[in-house]
A and B are shown apart, each in its own frame.
Chain A
Amino acid sequence: MADSALSRAVRWDTVVGALLVVLLLFSFSFVDGFGNALNLSFLIGNTLPIALIALPMTLLVVAGEIDLSVASTAGLSGSVMGALWNQGMAIETIIPLCLVLGVVCGLVNGLLVTRLGLPSLAVTIGTLAAYRGIAQIVLGSDAVTDFPVQYQDFAAGRIGDTFVPRAFPLFLVLLAVAVVVLHATPFGRSAFAIGANEEAARFAGIRVKRQKLLLFVATGFMASLTGVFWALHYASARYDNATGLELSVVAAVLLGGIDFDGGKGTLGGAIAGVFLLGALQNVMSLLNVSAQSQIVVTGVLLVVSVLGPRVGRQISVARAGRRAAAPTPVP
């Protein structure tokens, strides 16, 4: 049973990775305009916000929690960035302030969940609305577009003549950090234990609340970083930036095989899920699928990604059940 549980998890990661490869091969061959450098850079650039938030979200979901306020945090961070820029503050001061704001947003979520014992789903649906509301109060319906060119270039430009966005290496560094933290540190091991059985984790001396708080803070931080990136990338800070992004992030992470109930999954799978979703959205745009229909596809993917591994598990549990029912012989 252990064996099949392990190989099943591996298989799901592999399935998502394979789907990504198949989609890319298909698109290179049959979708007009997919393979050129400009489109590829669009694909990656548009997917980066999802990917950036997916990093901490993966850890958070593994630990059995979720943060739906990330898109609002990103929007708030962009709004504050625009408002302060309008006030004439230096961008070098603004960006750190926005990141601190993200930490505060994460802290609020984390404290509500860990100190008051509220379910994170409910808490972050609340802050989803609250943070977005504050963003609108801060910036109104303005759009701030005149950020310094060199910053916009970093967020939107490409490395030389290649299709690789200039911000991509930064993402790779953050990805490496997240992979190591989740899969190679005591912190990551604890996250899996907390997600699989919080009570047992507590009895093993793991500081569950502290760890969850840290994860919410990290998520808030990455959400605000994404908000800054978004405003620069699209050269527009508006209160409604990144609206609905949480849906894509959660869909991608679950699609990548992270168990919604916590305790299972790999970052590799999550990132494969992110780029599968990103590539799919890109291809749909090239094929002139409307934005509304794309949201429908994302929603369906979300349901399928929750359902898929579960159906697989039911099958393997049913199989294993027949074997496990046999008592092991006493030597």
Chain B
Amino acid sequence: MRQFDFMGKRRLAFLVSALMLLVSIGSLAVQQLNLGLDFTGGTLVEVRYETVPALDTVRQTLEAEGFQDVSVQTFGAATEVLIRLQQAFDPEVGEQVVNLLRADGDNVELVRAEFVGAQVGEQLRDQSGLGLLVALGIVMVYVAFRFQYKFALGALLALIHDVVIVVGFFSLFQLDFDLTVLAALLAVIGYSLNDTIVVYDRIRENIRKSRIDDMPVIFNDAINSTLSRTLATSGTTLLVLLALLVLGGDMIHNFAVALIVGIGVGTFSSIYVASALLLPLKLEREDLIPAKKEDPEAEELP
């Protein structure tokens, strides 16, 4: 089997990572995230017309009635219109909008109306941020416990790398960041970690059984022997996600996008961030020797 020299190209990979991070952070700083209704609070009304409506007319009708900050866009099909009112109105606004649009003589059907109070949105924002931090913290503790703190540091940086880039992607293309995307982001953390752990596991195994001390060689060997597994798993998951993206409908479109980007970045980062970072962290054989070698009998399959 062909052996790729992953570690030899790590400087190039660091550069690519740095560039992606820079673009992400830059985009976040300049145009922020397009936070969805769940986080901002406000009102969202989705209606279905029988015939394709003129979006400008819809907007004008609503603005003429005194609604401000009206954003009107089609959602999925041309006859489905998503109306956003970023200001938090009283909850009756959903019905008012539909009645108003019906008054123009069109046949309008209410598909869904959502109202989120500003306070709820704010709380959710805080809670989600906290949740992400707790998730990262617990995972780090677990990795430090099962492996060693240098591994935990590498895994943590890789996860932060993935999260920043996925969030940056959503900022760059101004995609809606709502609750389902947050769920996807957490799933990305889980997935990317999965990937990182598999590579780490192999690195640990190889360090323990090989007699050489040349870390880049050991790492290359470990990554190459897990490479076909990494590609197969990413491949099947991506296949499923593509099915979700194409067929799942608009409600989970962004969920699928977040996961596809996340799995791409996550696979890359488990090789080039999580593993390659162990080199500057000066991982040595001694770091793993004190760890008690697992008793193979105790871990035998059930």
Are A and B co-members of a single complex? no
